[in-house]
Amino acid sequence: MLIFPIIHQASGHALFNSAESTIGNNRVQVATDPEFPQAGQKAKIRMHVTDRDLNDVKQFVVGVRIFYDDIQVDGIPPQSIDGGYWDFDYAFDKPGNHVFRVDIYGENNKAITHTFNMSTQSPFGYIFFYVIMSGAIGAAVIFGYIYLPKRIKRH
């Protein structure tokens, strides 16, 4: 006899470099693509708004205020979004931590603010990765050059 589990609900992997906040009746998730945005380059910001039962909202009004070192450096005025997802492009000017204050407007135009930290890295961030990988590969080549001839001569 075969027994198959009954799956009532399934969901994909959570968005990378994402954070979520639940205040009031809404859950807001914000993510970036690429996972680690680089300063000076455009990144896609994806916002997902659901109710407490994780059902997409049909419509929401949202505004965004962006801070760097506690100073507001940019903002997106409130706008109405149909559906539970909103994607927009944003270029971070400087590397480091940016604070996104996402205002979701509800009844009586009252805003509920969700706060998210979005980190960027400098354009030189990948150089350190490549240097470490090059060092590891170089060490493996030197180890192989010294060790393998001795091992081959024994057999």
For the segment 98-131, what is each residue's pLDDT rounded down to a tens digit?
Answer: 899 999 998 788 888 989 888 887 655 566 667 8
Q: Are residues 32 and 60 in the same domain?
A: yes
Q: Are residues 93 and 47 in the same domain?
A: yes
The tally of domains found in the chain comes to: 2
Q: Examine the pLDDT at 9 and tell me if it is beyond 60.
A: no
Per DSSP, 56 falls in state B
Q: Are residues 45 and 95 in the same domain?
A: yes
Of the two residues 102 and 149, the one the predictor is more confident about is 102
Contact (CB, 8 A) for 30 and 45:
yes
Q: Name the token pair of 24.
A: 């009031």
pLDDT tens digit sequence for 12-64: 445 556 778 888 888 899 888 887 788 888 989 999 999 889 999 898 999 99
Q: Examine the pLDDT at 135 and tell me if it is beyond 50.
A: yes
In a domain? residue 111: yes
Question: In terms of Cα–Cα distance, which of 84, 92, 96, 89 is closest to 55?
Answer: 84
CATH code assigned at 33: 2.60.40.1930
How many other CB atoms are found less than 10 A from the CB of residue 108? 5
What residues make up the domain containing 151?
Answer: 126-155
Question: In terms of Cα–Cα distance, which of 107, 11, 87 is closest to 53?
Answer: 11
In the chain, % of residues over pLDDT 70: 82
Q: Are residues 42 and 84 in the same domain?
A: yes
Cα angle for residues 34, 40, 44 (degrees, 5° grid): 30
Q: Are residues 97 and 23 in the same domain?
A: yes
- Residue 123: the pLDDT is 58
Q: Name the token pair of 26.
A: 């809404």
In a domain? residue 2: no
How many other CB atoms are found less than 10 A from the CB of residue 49? 22
How many other CB atoms are found less than 10 A from the CB of residue 57? 19
In a domain? residue 139: yes
Q: Are residues 85 and 112 in the same domain?
A: yes
pLDDT tens digit sequence for 58-109: 989 999 999 999 999 999 999 999 989 999 999 988 888 889 999 999 878 8
Which DSSP string corresponds to 77-133? EEEEEESSEEEEEEE-SSSEEEEEEEEEE-GGG-EEEEEEEEEEB-TTHHHHHHHHH
Q: Are residues 40 and 89 in the same domain?
A: yes
Computed over every residue of the chain, the mean pLDDT equals 82
- Residue 79: the pLDDT is 93
Q: Determine if the pTM surpasses 0.75.
A: no
Q: Name the token pair of 102.
A: 């996402």
User: Which H or E run includes 134?
Assistant: helix 125-154
pLDDT band at residue 146 under the 50/70/90 scheme: confident
Q: Are residues 28 and 82 in the same domain?
A: yes
- Residue 122: the pLDDT is 64
